[in-house]
Structure 1
Amino acid sequence: MSGFYKQERFKERLRVYPNHFLLLFLDDKLVAFVDGFCTGDADLTDDMYENSCLHDEDGDWQMIFGLNTHPDYRGQGYASKLMNCFIGQARREKRLGVVLTCKKQMVEFYSKFGFVDEGISESAHGGAVWKQMRLTFDGVEGCKKY
């Protein structure tokens, strides 16, 4: 994927659902970010990555499309801080929970936040094999149950 295409895709995501992008800066340097949109669909699909117009601010599920940390800042807890903030925001917004896909080697990391491995995802985004993981919130009032 070209850098320009990727940059344009992120600009579109920021335009459509800016409240679902968390950015972590040290001084003036962006060192990590997490993003994803909300939807009524319970599973993360490939078309969600490409079509930001599928975002539904009233959706029951917060999807995570990416958790990224600059290589020079990995292993310092920044990704965990962002995950905790993103999960907390989804709880405050009364979502049913959070859904993400990850590669097998990341399952243990996301399990630490309460995510449950649901097996191989339908997603083939980027030609990779992905595991779908879900964190379901207990006691969320006013939402459908999954």
Structure 2
Amino acid sequence: MEFPISIREAQASDLDQIYLIIEKNADSCRIISKEMIEKRIRNHAGTFLLASLEEQVIGFIIGADLTETSSKDSAFDIDFIHSISRVPIIILSLMIHPDYRGQGFGTLLLAALKESSRLTNKSGLYLPCPDEMLSYFEMNAFIEHGFAESENSGDPYFHMHWDNPYYQEEI
């Protein structure tokens, strides 16, 4: 069976559908405000990607370019992230509507962000990963680089990164 899936950049008109997915995932994460999502659509357009099935948004991935993010603007230790890798894009969120989980849509979104990284010559991707998702991201070619606890929530996570094999450092 073939699905008419499309992967595209998020737009302001997608806000309600994105927020529905966030609300459906509220049991496993903190609620992100609509204002925060609007800001991320504006500021991270090239790395805020949606998976849609017949015009219905079924999942999204949000990345942020760390070369454009200061330590003051981020909840993450950017200096540490750069010390384990030259990875400039951090994955802030990956969510799939519960009705569509386990069908490969998260993997498609990760692949699309990896391709975006390749096309824009970014060195790779970084994400803080909870223990229960470790094998999923390892299956998607991310490498674990240590364990930490979030200063904000106290929740433990693993430092994960994926290196872009096509990255060409500027001379």
TM-score (normalizing by structure 2): 0.67
Q: Deviations over 1:99-133 (max 9, x none)?
A: 00110111111112211111113644544211110
The offset of 1:143, in angstroms, is 4.4
Contact (CA 8 Å) 1:94, 1:143: kept in 2 or not? no
Contact (CA 8 Å) 2:91, 2:126: kept in 1 or not? yes
Aligned residue for 2:46, secondary structure, equals helix
Relative distance call for 1:48 and 1:22 in structure 2 (3 A) is same
Contact (CA 8 Å) 2:118, 2:166: kept in 1 or not? no
**Alignment identity in percent?**
24
The offset of 1:60, in angstroms, is 5.6
**Which residue in the other structure is 2:124 paired with?**
97
**Which residue in the other structure is 2:47 paired with?**
20
**Which residue in the other structure is 2:74 paired with?**
48
Output the amino acid matched with 2:63: G
- 1:115 is aligned to 2:142: yes
Q: Deviations over 1:61-102 (max 9, x none)?
A: 111001100001101111011111111111111111110011
Contact (CA 8 Å) 2:114, 2:164: kept in 1 or not? no
Distance in 2, matches of 1:15 and 1:136, equals 26
Q: Which sections of structure 1, spanning at least 5 residues, go unmatched?
A: 51-58
Aligned residue for 1:142, secondary structure, equals coil
The offset of 1:137, in angstroms, is 2.3
Contact (CA 8 Å) 2:87, 2:163: kept in 1 or not? no
**Which residue in the other structure is 1:136 paired with?**
163
Relative distance call for 1:2 and 1:98 in structure 2 (3 A) is closer
Distance in 1, matches of 2:58 and 2:129, equals 20
Aligned residue for 2:156, secondary structure, equals coil
Number of residues of Structure 1 aligned to a counterpart in Structure 2: 132
* Bigger-Rg structure (1/2): 2
**Which residue in the other structure is 1:53 paired with?**
none
Distance in 2, matches of 1:46 and 1:34, equals 23
The offset of 1:27, in angstroms, is 1.7
TM-score (normalizing by structure 1): 0.77
- The equivalent position to 1:78 in structure 2, one of 94, 105, 124, is 105
